Chain A
Amino acid sequence: MCGIVGLFIKNQALESQLGALVAPMLSEMTERGPDSAGIAVYRNPQENGCKITVLAQHQDFDWGALEAAISNHFSLRDITVTRNHAVLSLDSEIDDVQVWMRDNWSDLSITSAGTNIEIFKGKGNPAEFIDQFDIKSMTGTHALGHTRMATESAITTEHSHPFSTGQDLCLVHNGSLSNHNRLRETLRKKGVHFKTDNDSEVAAGYLSWRLSEGDDLDQALNHAIEDLDGFYTFAIGTRDGFAVMRDPIGCKPAIMAETDDWAAMSSEYRAIATLPGAENARIWEPEPTQIYSWKRS
């Protein structure tokens, strides 16, 4: 079991309340996933630049040293540290920054890369996570969240969702994949990097690989139906919105809702019920293998 929530703001006046709206949704999914929690938030777009989120293995990481080193190599716009995460905004080529980070800072992992996306995640109860990362004060256009009940692999921050699947893309997953070991080996040979033995990371890696092969998101997801064996409800965050897809059996729950102000998805209605106007929202259950997506026009 796991819990998924997604919120896409349609009424721009609500963008300042994104975190305040999504935090109760995430909190409501605690029983589905008390082991760890995570969120991808899309905000503060970096025009003509890039943004990466990095995760340190220890809380006492020396961020000052990183700031000094990165400033010597790249044009750093800003660094914002929250506990063991830091969001770096730069004037540089994102690929160069990522390669440099991997070569020189092996004790840091990059949780997200793009212009808008920031990913934060942590082990422990979702309520603690929400407080520690001050989720309620976050502003932005849309967010995806996940609460994890581990079934396939260990409980660590790195095993937590969301997983990055490419620039401004991320994945959260409820379910379990049965062919992830074989698929991970196949993808490794194709040059995809994995940090953990987590099955959902394989799904994220798979989508990254399909996208790098030239698929658009819909094509990549349709290929995933063929190649991934197991149960899944996926929510995929994109720069402009998010998409939702369930496996052909449709075992794992998902519910979607929309009003004039927002569009939302969750594992259960009770998370959506926390949103203003939920009682009068258009509500439906996504059909298996059908891709549902929202985009900012």
Chain B
Amino acid sequence: MTEINLEKSTIRELNEALQAGSSGDKFSVNNTVGKHALSVGLTTKVDVEINGHVGYYCAGMNQQANIIINGNAGPGLAENMMSGQVRVTGNASQYAAATAHGGLLVIEGDSSSRCGISMKGVNIVVGGNIGHMSAFMAQSGCLVVCGDAGDALGDSIYEAKIYVRGKVKSLGTDCIEKEMRDEHKKELQQLLSQSKMSHGVEEFRRYGSARKLYNFDIDQVDDY
């Protein structure tokens, strides 16, 4: 285990050390005091444990690394993540996992507005509630919400899947409730187990695209 103390090391030194890590290396990061851009751009299977609250853009562009944040995360957590796993024990601020292509983001607490905006294949599991405009223009991947969802959930959604256990304040344009078939139950069960959430799949409802907003309709070809 390599310990990096941000009272002594700069953010650049931290990220360089983590990026140079080999598969299986373990790091702990302390004295974070809300600093920005911690543990970004990692490309190997290192394990990083961050102790304390973090600021903007933590774990951005993550590939393969397993990152645990023991605290709260500021805006832009795991933005554009490609693979690997990011877990936050507290809450996350706006636009967590925005545009992320792959991997798993687990937020044990709440996530605020625009969670999973334009997600492109990432799986997100939120233990608590999520804020307004979450999964806006979400293209693929799953957003699992064990609590409630805010206004305009899944507005202008493409092919991402949303599972919500609690109440949905309102659905966005072209987002509708959909049937929970066996393949969805299986997928959800897998995500819940992977993220260590103990809820039963029967407690969730599924939401997705009505496919009326983005699909090209051959009957309207003359309109273009």
Q: Which B residues are CB-close (under 8 A) to A287? A: 131
Residue of A nearest to B72 (CB): A283
Minimum distance in angstroms from A204 CB to a CB of chain B: 26
Q: How many residues of B contact A (CB 8 A)?
A: 19
Question: What mask results when residues 262 to 288 of chain A are scored 1 for a CB within 8 Å of chain B, else 0?
Answer: 000000111111100001000111011
A285 touches B93 (CB 8 A): yes
B34 touches A253 (CB 8 A): no
Mostly, the B contact residues are: loop
A285 touches B112 (CB 8 A): yes
Number of A-B contacts (CB under 8 A): 44
Please judge, given known A-B contacts A268-B74, A285-B91, A285-B112, whether A273 and B131 are in contact too, CB under 8 Å. Answer: no
Does A250 sit within 8 A of B, measured CB to CB?
yes
B75 touches A253 (CB 8 A): yes
Residue of B nearest to A284 (CB): B91
A268 touches B55 (CB 8 A): yes
Q: Which A residues are CB-close (under 8 A) to B55? A: 268-270
The listed residue (B33, B93, B132) touching A253 by CB distance below 8 A is: B93
Question: What mask results when residues 234 to 261 of chain A are scored 1 for a CB within 8 Å of chain B, else 0?
Answer: 0000000000000000100101000000
The listed residue (A250, A269, A284, A285) touching B34 by CB distance below 8 A is: A269
Minimum distance in angstroms from A288 CB to a CB of chain B: 7
Instruction: Give me 22 A-to-B residue pairs in the complex whose CB atoms sit less than 8 angstroms apart, sorted by A's number.
Output: A250-B94, A250-B131, A255-B74, A255-B93, A268-B34, A268-B56, A269-B55, A269-B74, A270-B34, A270-B35, A271-B34, A273-B33, A273-B34, A274-B33, A279-B53, A283-B72, A283-B90, A285-B93, A285-B112, A287-B131, A288-B113, A288-B132
Please give 15 more A-B residue pairs, beta carbons under 8 A apart, in addition to A270-B36, A271-B34: A250-B113, A250-B131, A255-B93, A268-B55, A269-B74, A270-B34, A270-B35, A270-B55, A272-B34, A273-B33, A273-B34, A279-B52, A285-B91, A287-B131, A288-B132
Residues of A bordering B, CB below 8 Å: 250, 253, 255, 268-274, 279, 283-285, 287-288
